[in-house]
Amino acid sequence: MLTSLRLPTAATLVALLSVATARAECSFSPYAFFPDRNDRVRVVVETDAVSFCDNSFREGPGYHFTKVSVVQVPPHGLIATLGPNHFACHALPNFSGQDRYTIRACATVGARKGCSTLIYDVTVR
């Protein structure tokens, strides 16, 4: 089983995207995924227009990630890879409404292998 972690907003991303203030106004629904089952998981995200949604996850017991990548970028936002299994998204200026991005996480566990599709449905207030 693999679970998500939420880390503090990355100061370097704040500087790179030139946002004056970044508050921790982002929440993710709890989720777990199992790449060896080739599952699809929907993650509900709520945020405001000025916050960064910083999300990362780690390998569960026995799992080894083979590839983690963004396969669909948010049409109304930006997504940055901050490190292995660590991503942050931010809405475009003056956007509010629904957005979506998708991450694919592939891993092995013992002799089993597969990929999970993580679909992030974002509501920007």
Say how far apart CA 62 and CA 79 lie, in whole Å: 29
Does residue 25 carry a pLDDT above 60? yes
Q: Which residues contact 17 (CB under 8 A, 6 or more apart)?
A: 52, 78, 80, 90
Query: Is the predicted pLDDT of residue 30 greater than 60, yes or no?
Result: yes
| pLDDT tens per residue, range 76-124 | 999 999 999 999 999 999 999 999 999 999 999 999 999 999 999 999 9
Contact 121, 31 (CB under 8 A): no
Q: What is the pLDDT of residues 51-67, one digit of tens each?
A: 999 999 999 999 999 99
Q: What pTM, to 2 d.p., does this model score?
A: 0.80
Spatial distance between the Cα atoms of 65 and 86, rounded to a whole number of angstroms: 13
Nearest in space to 67 (alpha carbons), one of 104, 109, 117: 104
